């Protein structure tokens, strides 16, 4: 066991050596000296510490301690995380074909993938997952669920779900199989009667580019495409090559998409579009927000810098670092930051400069904000993510709505409502009746909402009680609390549209699946509506692009 991890440690240092340490006449001596020192500390502690040491965990802790001094993207990957790498790179894993999510105090099946074992055996979106392989499931062990469900193809997993407002309990024994996760969660003409295509891209695994190509070809065969809204909101990224392939569908052949530079700036690698675009002239708008990162920012940056389309939404996450995965042996890998990437105009959009704040970096490549120009001479800036061409805020405004989400009330109401109303059609749902039914449901469930202000008043009340203040103080606090309670009762009216959108989208999920929920949410999506309106206005679109 000990020999195994000595080899791992030595292999780790070799990888670090050959993937980035600067070369000088003393480097080999310094590496040898520090490996020897690290080894002596490891040996002394494992043999002589007062309590027995877990050799493997102690070694992992040492490796992770070193990597923690760099950036959050340079990580050690052991056997337990190999499925995550497979999913990121190839979009595949062995499972049953479901996604799960927390809704209040329950874990629910949020999506059932078409054609896989879970769907074939009758698991439904909205089912509450209560057990996997004799392990009781709750939000408290949510992080454990993935490892319980995943396994080797051909093996089985026992799952217990409840449905129909927890009236029915059903046990399943499901055969695991290889699951290919779609990068393109939704594609279609939206609004339905328009010539605008909406693409919801949620990942960047190897198949992303081909999925987009096939989708656009299929839609083009139905009717003429005039505009495209590519939604990259909350897309955390993935493979750089996949980002390049997405860009190739829209940019002219031989246009530069992105470049990467490591420690040796002379070894810059440039990525160009190698194919003729399938959508070269149609109006293109890319939706982004602060959850759009990495590969999403490569796409947004290339589209923006070449003025191929407009970026709409809010500023992106700001991850301009490139990682490389190296095998270390013993089913372990090292994911290490080896370069920064640069958009076609030459800007690095990395927001946090980890090197400048880190004492282990001897020579930092400082990231600074600077001005650059797009092909049409529009100003863009480095550092801090991609700034949209038109900033449109869109987020939940009400604390009440957030609390309803947190307690799973929208999901639970949809489950209750669909179970008690057969043959529901979204188009025939009356919004006033829905709100009224929802309020009755909240009362039945004894839902209580306290605003931040009320919580602060409660603290003041406790403090006043501890300090034994006069009765007048409590009278004043109670009067203020009553006023806030009265305001809270009106919040459903104030934020009616916001709450209705969530109610209807959850009902749509129950009766029409993920596509139905997506379309229902788009009805109230301010950023999408802004994008569609701009795409529908030729003069405004050209003006924003500074195009003739």
Q: Mapping DSSP to helix (H, G, I), strand (E, B) and coil, where does residue 302 land?
A: helix
| Chain centre to alpha carbon of residue 444 | 34
Q: Answer yes or no: 305 catalytic.
A: yes
User: Please, is 92 exposed, middle or buried when counting C-beta atoms within 10 Å of its C-beta (0-12, 13-18, 19+)?
Assistant: middle
Instruction: Please give the sequence-ordered ranges of beta strands (E in DSSP) within 269-353, or none if there are none.
Output: 269-272, 283-288, 310-313, 321-329, 332-342
Tokens of 366: 């400082």
Q: Answer yes or no: 294 catalytic.
A: yes
Give CA–CA dist 522/115, Å, rounded: 26
**Within 10 Å of residue 106's Cβ, how many Cβ atoms?**
19
Active-site entry in 110, 273, 292, 294: 294
User: Please, is 447 exposed, middle or buried when counting C-beta atoms within 10 Å of its C-beta (0-12, 13-18, 19+)?
Assistant: middle
**Within 10 Å of residue 236's Cβ, how many Cβ atoms?**
17
Active-site entry in 231, 305, 389, 525: 305
Tokens of 389: 């061409």
Give CA–CA dist 365/71, Å, rounded: 14
Tokens of 509: 């999920």
Give CA–CA dist 339/359, Å, rounded: 19
**Within 10 Å of residue 463's Cβ, how many Cβ atoms?**
11
Q: Which residues contact 540 (CB under 8 A, 6 or more apart)?
A: 534
324 bridge partner residues: 336
Q: Answer yes or no: 319 catalytic.
A: yes
Give CA–CA dist 530/366, Å, rounded: 37
**Within 10 Å of residue 545's Cβ, how many Cβ atoms?**
19
Instruction: Please give the sequence-ordered ranges of beta strands (E in DSSP) within 374-477, or none if there are none.
Output: 379-381, 390-391
Q: Which residues contact 442 (CB under 8 A, 6 or more apart)?
A: 409
Answer yes or no: are the C-beta atoms of 533 and 315 closer than 8 Å. no
Largest distance between two CA atoms of the chain: 79
Q: Which residues contact 258 (CB under 8 A, 6 or more apart)?
A: 240, 243, 244, 270, 271, 298, 301, 302, 341, 342, 343, 344
Q: What is the DSSP letter of 352?
A: S
Answer yes or no: are the C-beta atoms of 95 and 176 closer than 8 Å. yes
Tokens of 467: 């300090």
Active-site entry in 249, 283, 315, 319: 319
- Give catalytic residues, as residue numbers: 294, 305, 319
């Amino acid at each position: 066991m000990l020999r195994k991890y000595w080899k791992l440690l030595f292999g780790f240092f070799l990888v670090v050596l050959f993937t980035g340490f600067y070369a000088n006449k003393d480097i080999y001596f310094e590496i040898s000296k520090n490996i020897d020192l690290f080894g002596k500390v490891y040996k002394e502690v494992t043999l002589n510490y007062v309590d027995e040491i877990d050799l493997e965990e102690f070694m992992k802790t040492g490796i992770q301690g070193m990597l923690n001094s760099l950036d959050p993207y340079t990580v050690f990957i052991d056997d337990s995380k190999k499925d995550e790498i497979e999913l990121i790179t190839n979009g595949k894993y062995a499972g049953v074909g479901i996604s799960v999510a927390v809704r209040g105090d329950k874990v629910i099946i949020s999506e059932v993938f078409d054609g896989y074992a879970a769907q074939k055996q009758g698991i439904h979106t909205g089912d509450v997952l209560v057990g996997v392989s004799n392990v009781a499931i709750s939000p408290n062990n949510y992080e454990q669920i993935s490892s319980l469900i995943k396994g080797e193809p051909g093996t089985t997993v026992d799952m217990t779900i409840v449905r129909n407002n927890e009236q029915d309990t059903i046990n399943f024994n499901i055969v695991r199989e290889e699951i290919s996760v779609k990068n393109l969660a939704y594609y279609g003409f939206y609004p339905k009667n328009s010539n605008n295509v909406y693409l919801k891209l949620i990942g960047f695994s190897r198949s992303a580019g081909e999925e987009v190509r096939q989708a656009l070809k299929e839609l083009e065969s139905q009717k003429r495409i005039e505009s495209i809204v590519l939604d990259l909101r909350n897309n955390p990224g993935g493979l750089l090559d996949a980002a390049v392939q997405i860009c190739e569908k829209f940019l002219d052949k031989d246009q530069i998409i992105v470049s990467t530079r490591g420690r040796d700036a002379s070894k810059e690698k440039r990525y160009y579009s190698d194919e003729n675009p399938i959508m070269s002239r149609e109006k293109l708008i890319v939706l982004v927000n602060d959850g759009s990162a990495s590969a999403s920012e490569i796409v947004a940056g290339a589209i923006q810098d070449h003025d191929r389309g407009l970026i709409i939404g809010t500023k992106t996450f700001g991850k301009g670092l490139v990682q490389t995965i190296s095998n270390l042996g013993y089913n372990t890998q090292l994911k290490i930051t080896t370069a920064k990437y640069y958009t076609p105009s030459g800007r690095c959009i990395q927001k946090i400069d980890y090197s400048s704040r880190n004492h282990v970096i001897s020579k930092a490549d400082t990231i600074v904000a600077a001005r650059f120009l797009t092909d049409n001479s529009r100003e863009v800036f480095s550092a801090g993510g991609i700034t949209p061409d038109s900033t449109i805020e869109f987020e939940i405004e009400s604390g009440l709505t957030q609390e309803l989400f947190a307690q799973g009330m929208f999901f639970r109401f949809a489950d209750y409502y669909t179970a008690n109303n057969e043959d529901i059609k979204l188009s025939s749902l009356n919004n006033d009746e829905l709100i009224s039914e929802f309020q009755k449901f909240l009362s039945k469930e004894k839902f209580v909402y306290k605003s931040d202000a009320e919580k602060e008043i409660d603290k003041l009340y406790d403090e006043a009680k501890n300090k034994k203040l006069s009765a007048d103080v409590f009278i004043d606090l109670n009067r203020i609390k009553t006023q806030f309670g009265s305001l809270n009762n009106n919040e459903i009216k104030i934020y009616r549209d916001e709450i209705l959108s969530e109610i209807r989208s959850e009902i749509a999920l129950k009766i029409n699946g993920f596509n139905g929920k997506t379309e229902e949410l788009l009805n109230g999506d301010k950023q999408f509506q802004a994008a569609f309106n701009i795409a529908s206005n030729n003069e405004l679109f050209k003006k924003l692009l500074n195009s003739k």
